[in-house]
Amino acid sequence: MDEKHPLPTEPLPKNRAVKRRPSTPAARFNAKTMRGLQKALEEDPEADLASLLSTAYSKSLQSFKRFSVASFPSPVTKHHDVRSYLSATDASAIICGLSDELDELLRPFKDLSTGLVSILADSKVINGSVCASSRTVFCLNDAIAVKILGDTESAVNEYRSLSYLKGVLPHFPCPKPHGVVRFGNCVMLFSAYIPGFDLEKIWPKMNRTEKHRISSQLDSLLRLVRVSSSPIMNAEQFQDFIFEGSDTASGVYKRLLRSLLPTSQAKIVFTHGDIRPANIIALQESDGSWGVAAIIDWESSGFYPEYWESVKATNNLTPMDRLDWYEFLPESISPQRYRTEWLVDRIWDRSMTNS
């Protein structure tokens, strides 16, 4: 929704009860489970509650409990916390319409800025650094998270991509977008909180069978996304754009590299643009193995040539890298499928002004 409902102008009573927010992953998991049970009871008051609980409930809960101690970074001093730089007197504006859920969360406060400061005050850091210069993700409650960014373009692009995915693939495991707000010098992207664990942290603990399973699940999910195509730009136009990205490379060098690329036109498909363990949420399943709960951070997504996901998935790969993640890249985006494009990009990337 683009406009907020009228907000009360009277101050809230000082003795107003404050609802305690769950502070651990296990508590938030239970709260989410309870919401599901309550919804089921509203539809059928005589429902069998035991049958509504997932067979994986107990093991999932234990999984959250084991990791809950290390789920959030250590507290930092207020001086270095990005939240200490935000004030209720700062200007705020809605850039992308707020969802009903976020609107309801902000409704009790007299204005948008006051509401943003208030809901962030009790939030928990779930990703990144709380330093003001860094991108940070906070968990507001068991249903909504907020990513604080420095630029509007990234936030709006991710919001639109998530909206697109929810429109064409309603059950695809990615966060539901809840809105984008500019507040002071920050831009805030609100989306659904998805419980689970950063794959980057648990990957080293997995055996090869589990790693292959994660890779296979990701491959199936990415193939769903890559079916969607758009005529926004063809592959040749995209290459024109890429090869204009250097201020130093000569025309001879550009033409030689470009001549190595396949002459056949690559398909244009929807692309995440930054597939790596840090952008994958994993959850332990009933048999004790790990599965993909969600793919997050779609700010670099868009419609690109089919090989682009492969190129970007290895952007951080260096000759000194020992992370075996690159040996388990999903088949649909493996450099093995796009060997020439991948090798040309590795060479050309050194010349790029902004790669």
143: in domain: yes
Q: What is the CATH number of the domain that holds 243?
A: 3.90.1200.10
58: in domain: no
User: What is the residue-level pLDDT of the chain in tens, covering all 355 positions?
Assistant: 444 444 443 443 333 333 444 456 667 667 777 877 887 788 888 888 777 665 556 655 665 555 443 444 444 445 567 888 889 999 999 999 999 999 999 999 999 999 999 999 989 988 765 454 457 899 999 999 999 998 899 999 999 999 999 999 999 999 999 999 999 999 999 999 999 999 999 999 999 999 999 999 999 999 999 986 555 556 666 666 566 666 677 888 878 887 887 776 788 899 999 999 999 999 998 888 899 999 999 999 999 999 999 999 998 888 888 899 999 999 999 999 999 999 998 888 777 655 5
Cα angle at 273 between 255 and 311, to 5 degrees? 40
- Same domain? For 140 and 225 the reply is no
Query: Token pair for residue 38?
Result: 């309550």
Cβ atoms of 129 and 167 closer than 8 Å: no
265: in domain: yes
Of 192, 226, 256, which marks where a domain is finished? 192
Cβ atoms of 63 and 116 closer than 8 Å: no
41: in domain: no
Of 192, 221, 248, which marks where a domain is finished? 192
- Same domain? For 183 and 203 the reply is no
- Same domain? For 179 and 302 the reply is no
- Same domain? For 204 and 97 the reply is no
Query: Which residue range forms the structural domain that includes residue 96?
Result: 71-192
DSSP helix/strand/coil, 28: helix
Of 133, 164, 192, which marks where a domain is finished? 192
**Can you give the pLDDT at residue 41?**
83
Output b/e per residue, 175-206; b: 16+ Cβ within 10 A: bbbbbbbbbeebbbbbbbbbbbbbbeebbeeb
- Same domain? For 203 and 319 the reply is yes
- Same domain? For 181 and 203 the reply is no
**CA-to-CA distance for 142 and 36, rounded, in angstroms?**
13
**Can you give the pLDDT at residue 286?**
81
39: in domain: no
50: in domain: no
257: in domain: yes
Residue 290 forms beta bridges with which residues?
284
Q: What is the CATH number of the domain that holds 92?
A: 3.30.200
How many folded domains does the chain comprise? 2
**Can you give the pLDDT at residue 77?**
47
- Same domain? For 329 and 211 the reply is yes
- Same domain? For 186 and 203 the reply is no
- Same domain? For 178 and 233 the reply is no
């969600």: which residue's tokens? Answer: 294
Cβ atoms of 218 and 309 closer than 8 Å: no
Nearest one of 27, 60, 50 to 286, comparing CA atoms: 60
310: in domain: yes
- Same domain? For 205 and 167 the reply is no
- Same domain? For 222 and 254 the reply is yes
- Same domain? For 184 and 227 the reply is no
